[in-house]
Structure 1
Amino acid sequence: MTRTEQEYRELWQLSHDERRSWVRGRFPEGASPQWWLAMVESAETGVSPVRELPDDQRREGLEFAVSLVELALDEGGMSPCYSAYWTVRLAALALRFRAPIDRLPEVVTPDGAARLALRRLPLSREELLAAASRRRNDLQQGEDRFYVPGEDISESLHQPSEEVRLLQEVERVLSSLVWIADHIVDEQLSRDIQIWLDLRSALEI
């Protein structure tokens, strides 16, 4: 068993209230974003639809995954947008079960996840369009492209400006909302989500 697997098991066995103290005791300087990602990915795998689990275990697993995402946000291991992306991802995962799970946390229902995502978007629609326009203009003026998360870092690539980083974060969230958009019950919320999704073409820069 790897160290990461052991840490995940230890977290799983703790109560909700004990997890924060455990993380701070284990990582006095703060756990890295990579560590938080490993924990959340493990929690996601634990409730995969391919695993034959009773509903109560799936519900417990999703509640645990949600608690990890929120703790990562609180402890600085995830940005608000990245935590929203993961919450939507968990809500999309819950939709893949053959039968709906009763008494799911509201935040991992399509409506709950969508509301949370909208609250955590760092830009208004107007700000998004203006920032995307400035970015296109910079590229047209021959500005070097910026580093995209997941690429190999080289000296020829620059770290993104704060505005470009926010554009990337919004794009991540909007891309995830596509997974649940057709399942949103509240009509006004559904319309709001669709307006945001219609803006995705502005981010294709």
Structure 2
Amino acid sequence: MAVFESLDTSLSPLLDVAEIQRRRDFEIGVEFFRRAVAVGSIRPPMGACWNLRLAATALRFTPTVEGLSRILTPDGAAELALNRMPLSRDRALVESKARQEEYLAAGEDFFAPVGQAIPVVREADNRSSALQDVELILSALPLVSPSVESENLRRDIDAWLKIRNQL
């Protein structure tokens, strides 16, 4: 978060910065998130989410920042994000329904005890994590979706956004 906040500040359209510096800051952001995913510091969907946010920031510039890599275009960022979806749309709906049913059927032991220490459990709930990753990407996808040019990509995005409120 700190790195993104720093990037977000340095990439403000309100700052009077040379275009070469601005382009370099965008590319540093892309490289940072790419490496964070590569070494396992963040999950690929999280990297895709941050990339969507960088691409959305790039859209705020008039005139546009020239020479940015494709991954910072709305089409490139959306394509990366959709490729990082850990579940299909159908599977995401099934997992969401299962999560809701578990929550509604949960007893008192489902919730953390008030006023007591809770043990740290290192093993992740992969199903829940995958669904959260889908929701994370879907939270950022609308930032660039209006600017996507590819019709095929637009159809995929619209299909995902159509089920967003069902998750």
**TM class by shorter-chain length?**
0.7 to 0.9
- Give the match for residue 17 of structure 1: none
User: Is the CA contact 1:40–1:69 (under 8 Å) kept in the aligned structure 2?
Assistant: no
* Counterpart pick for 1:81 among 26, 45, 63: 45
Q: Specify the SS of the correspondent of 1:178.
A: helix
| Structural mapping, 1:19-168, within 5 Å | 37-142=1-106, 144=110, 155=118, 161-168=125-132
Q: Could you say if the C-alpha distance between residues 161 and 94 of structure 1 is closer, same or farther in structure 2, counting changes exceeding 3 Å?
A: same
- Give the match for residue 182 of structure 1: 146
Please state how far the C-alpha of 1:42 moved relative to its aligned partner. Answer: 2.0
Letter in 2 for 1:173: I
In 1, Cα distance between equivalents of 2:38 and 2:118: 33
How many pairs were matched up? 160
In 2, Cα distance between equivalents of 1:178 and 1:169: 15
* Counterpart pick for 1:191 among 155, 159, 162: 155
User: Is the CA contact 1:44–1:65 (under 8 Å) kept in the aligned structure 2?
Assistant: no
Please state how far the C-alpha of 1:145 moved relative to its aligned partner. Answer: 6.0
TM-score, normalised via structure 1 length: 0.72
Please state how far the C-alpha of 1:190 moved relative to its aligned partner. Answer: 0.7
In 1, Cα distance between equivalents of 2:81 and 2:3: 21
In 2, Cα distance between equivalents of 1:167 and 1:43: 28
Please state how far the C-alpha of 1:103 moved relative to its aligned partner. Answer: 1.5
In 1, Cα distance between equivalents of 2:43 and 2:154: 25
How big is the alpha-carbon RMSD for the aligned residues of Structure 1 and Structure 2?
2.2
In 1, Cα distance between equivalents of 2:78 and 2:71: 8
User: Is the CA contact 1:87–1:113 (under 8 Å) kept in the aligned structure 2?
Assistant: yes
User: Is the CA contact 1:125–1:196 (under 8 Å) kept in the aligned structure 2?
Assistant: yes
Q: Could you say if the C-alpha distance between residues 40 and 71 of structure 1 is closer, same or farther in structure 2, counting changes exceeding 3 Å?
A: farther
Q: Specify the SS of the correspondent of 2:143.
A: coil
- Deviations along 1:56-81, one digit per CA (max 9) or x if unpaired, are 21111101110001011111111000
**Higher relative contact order at CA 8 Å, sep ≥6: structure 1 or structure 2?**
2
Gaps of 5+ in 2: none
Letter in 1 for 2:162: D
Please state how far the C-alpha of 1:139 moved relative to its aligned partner. Answer: 1.5
User: Is the CA contact 1:40–1:68 (under 8 Å) kept in the aligned structure 2?
Assistant: no
Matched, 1:169 2:143: no
In 2, Cα distance between equivalents of 1:99 and 1:41: 23
Q: Could you say if the C-alpha distance between residues 145 and 162 of structure 1 is closer, same or farther in structure 2, counting changes exceeding 3 Å?
A: farther
